[in-house]
Amino acid sequence: MIDLKKHTYKLIMIAFFLLLWSCNDTEHQKPALETLNLVSSIPANNDNEVSFRESQVSFIFSENIKLNQPQNIEINGELAQRVTVNMSELRIDVSLQPNTTYIIEIPKNQITGRESGAMSGKIEIVFKTQDVELSKLVIDNPSIQTQKLYNYLKSITGEKMITGTMANVSWNINEAEWVRYHTGEYPALNCFDYIHLYASPSSWIDYENISVIENWWQNNGLVAAMWHWNVPKSNSSNSYAFYSKETDFDVSRAVIEGTDEYDIVIADLNKIADNLLLLNDKNIPILWRPLHEASGRWFWWGAKGAMPAKKLWQMMFDVFNDKGLNNLIWIWTSDGNDDEWYPGDDYVDLIGADIYDKDLGSIVSFYENMKRKYPNKMLALSEYGNISNLSEQWAKNVKWLWAMPWYDYERTLTIEGVEFKKESHQFANKSYWQNIFEMKDIIVYRNNVPNLK
């Protein structure tokens, strides 16, 4: 005879243990793996109005991630240099330029989810930075030729690079002749220096004789000019200097009306304006680069800091404007960390850089920094020596408007004799120039400058 109570109890206990076993088994089973997904990116894919002032691109994933090594993320074909992970976010430091398309590629298996494993598919986003309109000339009534030159510069910026040479000391094309002797081509630009203005006109220097500049311009050469501004070494001195360590001339007093220094500066400004007017009368536009390297303080015009240097620049601008000079394109020289020295957008047309003895990486960083700071100004390599080939710089998107190595005094003191014929050069030797002219589709030399007259 079956005991129903005992039988029922056994059935209940069996059911209970089966249920308990079932629950424990379920707890030990792992959930089905989910696929790691990209949730969003900043900038978004196909965004065409990205600010070039952004310094980071970020990717947000569906779970916390880790970055597999070696890191192979690329920006426009170049390996990204700084990539970090913060939980579900991957961040890439970037240095963006205006009006540029960027492609960021994250290869498959580069990213691993903490729960779901490596991402098997490649990630790619494309975006474009905002365009920037280049500024107009800062003078109100530029001459026809000056406007033509500026329009030409704007038309080629980022596409072509103008070759240039510096006069040996002041008033010649000796360096340009040396380049032609060794390469068969003249550079497009030659820069002259009013360094001896205090002595001109005299038997040994006369800036009123502009024939060398006229001939260069008539042969389609572009003209630049600068001014190593010599001032009296002291109040009672008849000798002159431009280095701070060689003169006690005080620029902070020179910008204050009523001082002796002010009178000297105003007299010099009127004198050089009269010399520049000789070129203006011949319809010759000038790429004008005064008060260069001021923030270095080794020249007297920068020795007392930013404020008097800026004031002196503005004084020069006003004197030249009053004189009716309308053939100048104003170029300010920056060292990259001198924002407080900048005279202002209303006084500057182009930004120049004087670079010596720096490696390619340093130049790339400098250029990208300048592009961000002055997006509506063109950038020129206004002086240089002992740096990487321009072709290497161009390949890294360092696209100077023009590039001008400094002169070699001994090599081009004259255009005759043994020294002139040597292939070596202090800053840019024969092979360096040959490398430049091999950039045929990019380089502008004198023979392919358009008629700007």
Q: What is the mean pLDDT of residues 107-130?
A: 90
Q: State pLDDT tens for residues 332-383.
A: 999 999 999 999 999 999 999 999 999 999 999 999 999 989 999 999 999 9
DSSP 35-68: PP-EEEEESPTTEEEE-TT--EEEEEESS-EEE-
pLDDT, residue 20, reads 56
Question: Alpha-carbon distance 165 to 193, whole Å?
Answer: 12
Task: State the catalytic residue, choosing from 293, 368, 410, 438.
Answer: 293
- Whether the CA torsion 253, 256, 258, 262 is positive or negative: it is positive
Question: Is-catalytic flag, 416?
Answer: no
More confident residue, 4 or 320: 320
Work out the pLDDT band at 19, boundaries 50, 70, 90. low
Spatial CA neighbour of 157 closest among 385, 394, 451, 439: 394
DSSP 159-172: T-EEEEEE-SSSS-
The continuous run of DSSP H or E covering 216 comes out as: helix 211-218
Task: State the catalytic residue, choosing from 89, 383, 419, 423.
Answer: 383
User: Which residue is associated with the tokens 């070759």?
Assistant: 163
On the question of pLDDT at 29 being above 60, the answer is: no
More confident residue, 26 or 335: 335
- From residue 312, give the alpha-carbon distance in Å to each of 137, 241, 315, 323, 447: 20, 18, 5, 17, 38
Question: Which residues lie below 8 Å from residue 408, measured CB to CB, with a gap of 6+?
Answer: 168, 175, 425, 426, 427
Question: Alpha-carbon distance 354 to 383, whole Å?
Answer: 4
On the question of pLDDT at 26 being above 50, the answer is: no
Q: State pLDDT tens for residues 142-165.
A: 999 999 999 999 999 999 999 999
Q: What is the mean pLDDT of residues 27-55?
A: 78
For residue 79 the two structure tokens come to: 């390996």
Question: Which residues lie below 8 Å from residue 61, measured CB to CB, with a gap of 6+?
Answer: 36, 37, 38, 39, 88, 89, 90, 111, 113
pLDDT, residue 176, reads 98
pLDDT, residue 95, reads 82
Question: Which residues lie below 8 Å from residue 75, measured CB to CB, with a gap of 6+?
Answer: 92, 94, 102, 103, 104
On the question of pLDDT at 12 being above 60, the answer is: no
On the question of pLDDT at 52 being above 90, the answer is: no
Work out the pLDDT band at 8, boundaries 50, 70, 90. low
% of residues, the chain, pLDDT over 70: 92
Residue 395's CB is within 10 A of a number of other CB atoms, namely 10
**Letter for the amino acid at 388?**
S
DSSP code at position 31 = P
Question: Is-catalytic flag, 383?
Answer: yes
Q: State pLDDT tens for residues 248-266.
A: 999 999 999 999 999 999 9
On the question of pLDDT at 96 being above 90, the answer is: no
Whether residue 70 is preceded by a cis peptide bond, meaning omega within 30 degrees of 0, is yes
pLDDT, residue 21, reads 53
First-last CA distance in the chain: 127
% of residues, the chain, pLDDT over 90: 83
All structural domains of the chain, each given as residue ranges with its CATH number in brackets, are: 38-129 (2.60.40.1220), 144-448 (3.20.20.80)
Q: State pLDDT tens for residues 191-249.
A: 999 999 999 999 999 999 999 999 999 999 999 999 999 999 998 788 999 999 999 99
pLDDT, residue 28, reads 47
Q: What is the mean pLDDT of residues 109-122?
A: 88
Q: What residue ranges in 122-235 does DSSP mark as E strands?
A: 123-129, 161-166, 189-193, 222-226, 231-232
- Whether the CA torsion 51, 370, 126, 160 is positive or negative: it is positive
pLDDT, residue 17, reads 54
Work out the pLDDT band at 419, boundaries 50, 70, 90. very high
pLDDT, residue 99, reads 82
CA torsion 96-98-101-103 (nearest 10°) is 10
Its pTM stands at 0.83
pLDDT, residue 235, reads 82
CA torsion 415-418-419-424 (nearest 10°) is 110
